[in-house]
Structure 1
């Protein structure tokens, strides 16, 4: 499929039915968007529901919501638009674009694209990466989807075998705009045989720095105090208010791509790149395992004022693809971590969402939590006290994402 021949068509308005604000009602209009996968025996598509608050109320998929095409969807907001992205499992992907009108979802456009493994807002674009997994064909393609024209305006290729120059392939864990640059942290993978995601180089972190919009490689930042930054399909970088960039490493590199072959000797840790520089700050280092009693970070949500809500695993549950179920608050300024209280018992939790929400004002973050009973909730976490409060109730499916539009 040639990207320059993408078909983008305006679609009809899709609205959600209104209801009262009483908690007994199954849904309401609002500017918060929650994605919910309905209960079904086989794979089904997400439904997008809206709510006026994440602190109270109830939403349900019963007779409500905007159904998405395709089973695997991922979400991002930018330029006050909501982008629903289809992961095509090797087939072409898609981007469906919405905004909010009068507290209702309004579908703006639908585009057929390539399936991509990393995407992020950059300037007025959504920059997307289709990442190679073949050492014999190491061509990673990038696409710039403009959020004003709702069209792909530029594309190009990166030879990811040339980034490491160590016989393995660079695989981007995610991408992030930092100033006028794009930072692309990556891990090194064999990309062949029976150990495609294994590596012989588990104890180093790399970030490729690109000019934008040309996507010209400017330099590669390296650090040997941690393993690679982020995880597969997981953003391990965060830009804070003063322009500093913080990075987490889960320390989950493996020799064979399996949980039984983890080979990094480095602890899960947090490092920093100071504002205006393109090097790791060697004077800053947080051994996360040390301050948390042996946990590793698997994901985080920035809430502002140098505070992060962290998702972690115990040493016994640590794995390359294991999602953390221990929630805490990390303050990178004081280098302290505290477990969050007020959440259900781990045994009662089926899973957490990876796509969560904060206004980044410095205090509150909202995370999605699905219980073994089949009910889901949004929990409000106060980063100043590390206390969670139960909020919006989700019925009729599994909560997968939380977003907000003005």
Structure 2
């Protein structure tokens, strides 16, 4: 399975984007024309820069307002396409995306559009290139992947294929099941995006609120199941337009995107196995049974104030760590840890952020398998020196620079309070707090 991402999906100048995309482990990129235009070197240099990062240019996009035009606009559209083909050859890519027209002069008609694409296919073939046709959700005459496929089918040209995008299908509340009837070899490219379900103009929604698969309300999994059922074995790529992403760390967004793709394809493969997609093997999703502990980093003064606050809330100073300056405060099944060590991760967190949550422990069925899945999803593991008699709790580097540990009863990790802590003998008094409901 080859993975890709559109350069428009993340922030930064083109070199910064490519570095982040390569570091996240993607195989290639969709070069968005605006990123190419904004860069200060020519197409051959851009192509070489992409390859120097170990990436391939999977797609050049977008080419707009091509099909269904009357003369002389039709001739001009073909001339524009030829110039784009010249750019593509210099870039070193063989596939261009044409999105369905919104041109005010565009004429409707399946056969008219098919004839235009067939003629363009001849031009593309002369250059050794291919063209993928995509139905924009807001296209004037073509806004449904079924119509786009019928146009491609009637065009009947080996250099003309279909591009499907989960947003354009699911955003219009179209069933993805019809995708299953499309021959996999006529799907030239697959783009994925999720989005929160918001009732607004389709174009505005698409340009500002897309997010990674699994982070929104669209059934991207069902869409990808339908694609996989066709036998399609080409690239799976993210095309995300999101204002917040464009203001965030390029590397963080690229890594999040890669995780979303791997997780999605694992979900698809478990429901409807698709061996041709070569999905990496990983353990199943872990079910969180509860929050085992929340750990604060503090100094002695702040720890005293935090302890006083916890006492007011009904918590009891129940135990202290046998080796470290760490105290345990409990109420019901809630465990709050205060760490005032002068070295290690908690201390580093305190120095950089002051008194704050530095660690969280989640109770799962199998801690080792949970971390194995995280590692398969390219999450960084967390390791720290442990002293004699301490348990080694599997952990990952979490969001916001924190740490997340995983504990399970089967391997005895939830016995950490008995193994590593010595009771203070303080009597506890129930005040009605029983568990951590959620963390926000």
Q: Which has the larger radius of gyration?
A: 2
Give the structure with the higher percent helix: 2
Structure 1 and Structure 2 fold alike (TM over 0.5): no
When normalised by structure 1's length, the TM-score is 0.31
Give the structure with the higher percent strand: 1
